[in-house]
Amino acid sequence: MSQIHWFPGHMAKARREISEKIKLIDIVVELVDSRAPKASKNPMFDEIINNKPRLIVMTKKDLSDERITNQWLEYYRSLGYYAICVNLKNFNEHQLIIKICKEILAEKMAKEAAKGLRPRAMRAMVLGIPNVGKSTFINRLAKRKATITGNRPGVTKAQQLIRVDKDFELFDTPGVLWPRFDDIQIARNIALIGSIKQQILPLDELFIYAVEYLVKNYPGRVEDRYQVTIDLDSDWIEPLFEDIAKNRKIKQVRGYTDYDRVLELFYNEIFDGSLGKITWERPETSTN
């Protein structure tokens, strides 16, 4: 596969803003999708963040495989990161994130106080690629009544500084992807968590990959959901389309199976959890 380029102009702008504002913040809260923790972790951020303290928050806990999620948490912690996994639909977990950030920064803030520096709110920057739950996280913390200031030193109108409480502020940034995907595996997994449109990849090829992965790693999921039999050693692809269409009563188009409707159904049921909790990557096959 040739390189997939995906870098809308607003993402290039966001990268510049992150680079400019990173010196103003105390800690980075990096959100990744627990269904694909490697694919949804933007390597560009490592270049920008440098040595800032970082908390990795794995989201979509309700949609991912808990056993593999725990392996990912151990993996990130072994690399020296603070890491937790949350379901952002649970408000209390947003508060947990703030509590952990304050614990991470407690020593730094104490040193500043010992030097006689004026007490101030801790500043966190929230980073993540599209669709990892960043907007939900920000809105829940801010209770949709955030104080957004654009007149502080170094804060432009395009950069939002949100006061969460008297001790904690957030820099919000748009979701940022990186300029291109050199790895087909990364592109597939990003598509299967909905962070890029599936249409940038051949939909039928993505379907084949997803089904093969599920049959091998989550046996019975696809078969039970659609009441089908799948033998990967046989010519299974077209019969599976036909069987799913029949099971879900998808009408034919001019006498042929409506492949587009089958694909739409399949991807929607991956995204909403109808096919069960799925994790598309395992840490033993990943590198930092």
pLDDT of 127-183, one tens digit each? 888 888 888 888 887 775 443 433 333 333 345 778 888 888 888 776 676 656 678
Calpha distance 260→204 (Å, rounded): 9
**CA pair distance 22, 51, nearest whole angstrom:** 11
Q: How confident is the model at residue 194, as a pLDDT?
A: 87
**% of the chain at pLDDT higher than 70:** 84
The pLDDT of residue 86 is above 80? yes
Q: What is the pLDDT of residue 71?
A: 97
4-5/82-85 β-pairing? unpaired
pLDDT at 5: 52
Q: HSE of 90 in the Cβ direction (CA atoms, 13 Å)?
A: 11
Quick one: which of 154, 162, 148, 177 has its CA closest to 20?
A: 154
CB 210 within 8 A of CB 231: no
The matching CATH number, chosen from 3.30.559.10, 3.30.70.20, 3.30.70.1530, 3.40.50.300, for 4-172 is 3.40.50.300
Backbone angles phi, psi at 99, to 5 degrees: -60, -45
User: What's the confidence (pLDDT) of residue 30?
Assistant: 93
Which DSSP category does 171 fall into?
A: E
Task: Measure the CA dihedral 46/50/55/61, to 10°.
Answer: 0
Q: What is the mean pLDDT of the chain?
A: 84
Please report the pLDDT score of residue 11 as a whole number.
Answer: 63
The rounded percent of the chain whose pLDDT value lies above 90 is 50
For the chain, domain boundaries: 4-172, 202-285
**pLDDT score recorded for residue 279:** 98
More confident residue, 200 or 20: 20
Distance separating alpha carbons of residues 132 and 33, to the nearest angstrom: 5
For the stretch 228-268, pLDDT in tens is 999 999 999 999 999 999 999 999 999 999 999 999 999 99
CB burial string 190-212: b at 16+ within 10 A, e below? bbbbbbbebeebebeebbebbbe
Eight-class DSSP state of 41? S
pLDDT of the residue at 241? 97
4-172 against 202-285: fold identical: no
| Global pTM value | 0.85
Q: Find out if CATH 1.10.1580.10 is the number for domain 202-285.
A: yes
**Of 118 and 15, which is predicted with more confidence?**
118
| Cβ neighbours around 281 below 10 Å, total | 20
Determine the pLDDT at residue 156. 32
